[in-house]
């Protein structure tokens, strides 16, 4: 059965209000009403906007929330590519984010339609907890990441607060998966990435990992 959250993402009307209303409220919720997630999000946007000749892939990009930031400092042949399964989200993304270095593609995060070692930065932000069978998506992110490149994930984390009675049931009803605190980090470790860093913000987590320069993942 398709979850309520996934059905909303497919709705053209929801795609129009997502960035302006839903996402700020949702992001604040990850910090339990505080600002930690929003603060980290601002720092991440500034990091993505740094100058450089990079290929950036945004997996499950939605309406292109990070496209302007990620494309802002790109130089040379640098390009931002957003991929999403929702035609409604991609239509909104294409309308709201017209830029020379920005493009959007419809596709499945479990089978990214790109060759190995194609991107310097691979993102999956505020989306992994909505994707059925999500951990193989991390495998694909590592596959398409170039040696020495980075993967950045923002998703849920089952901290002590998230383990409160009723929290898991509510998450399951909404279609939002609560990842174990070590689940994403362990998967990246199994994929032989390195320099894995995790920051917990309330019931959310940011994970950053790099693909080794000289060895293949397995």
26-84 pLDDT tens trace: 555 555 555 667 778 888 899 999 999 999 999 999 999 999 999 999 999 999 999 99
The CA-atom distances, in angstroms, between 98 and each of 77, 79, 92, 133 are: 17, 13, 11, 32
Q: How many CB atoms lie within 10 A of CB 210?
A: 17
Q: Is the pLDDT of residue 197 over 90?
A: yes
Beta-carbon contacts of 182 under 8 Å, excluding residues fewer than 6 positions away, are none
Reported confidence tier of residue 14, pLDDT bands at 50, 70, 90: very low
Residue-averaged pLDDT of the chain: 83
CA proximity to 176, closest of 188, 197, 161, 162: 162
Sheet holding 119-125, edge to edge: 102-106, 79-84, 55-59, 119-125, 145-156, 204-210, 194-201
Global pTM reads 0.81
């Amino acid at each position: 059965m398709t979850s309520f959250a996934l059905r909303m993402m497919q709705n053209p009307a929801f795609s129009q209000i997502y960035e302006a209303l839903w996402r700020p409220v949702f992001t604040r919720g990850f910090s339990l009403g505080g600002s930690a997630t929003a603060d980290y999000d601002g720092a991440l946007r500034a990091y993505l906007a740094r100058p450089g000749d990079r290929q950036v892939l945004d997996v499950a990009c939605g309406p292109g929330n990070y496209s302007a930031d990620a494309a802002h400092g790109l130089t040379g042949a640098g390009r931002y590519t957003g991929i999403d399964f929702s035609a409604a989200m991609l239509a909104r993304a294409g309308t709201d984010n017209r830029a020379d270095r920005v493009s959007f593609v419809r596709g499945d995060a479990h089978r990214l339609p790109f060759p190995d070692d194609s991107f310097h930065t691979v993102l999956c932000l505020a989306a992994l907890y909505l994707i059925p069978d999500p951990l193989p998506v991390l495998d694909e992110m590592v596959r398409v990441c170039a040696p020495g490149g980075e993967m950045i994930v923002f998703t849920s984390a089952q901290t002590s607060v998230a383990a409160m009675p009723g929290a898991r049931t509510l998450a399951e009803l909404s279609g939002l998966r609560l990842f174990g605190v070590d689940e994403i980090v362990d998967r990246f470790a199994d994929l032989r990435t390195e320099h894995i860093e995790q920051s917990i913000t309330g019931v959310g987590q940011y994970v950053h990992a790099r693909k080794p320069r000289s060895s293949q993942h397995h």
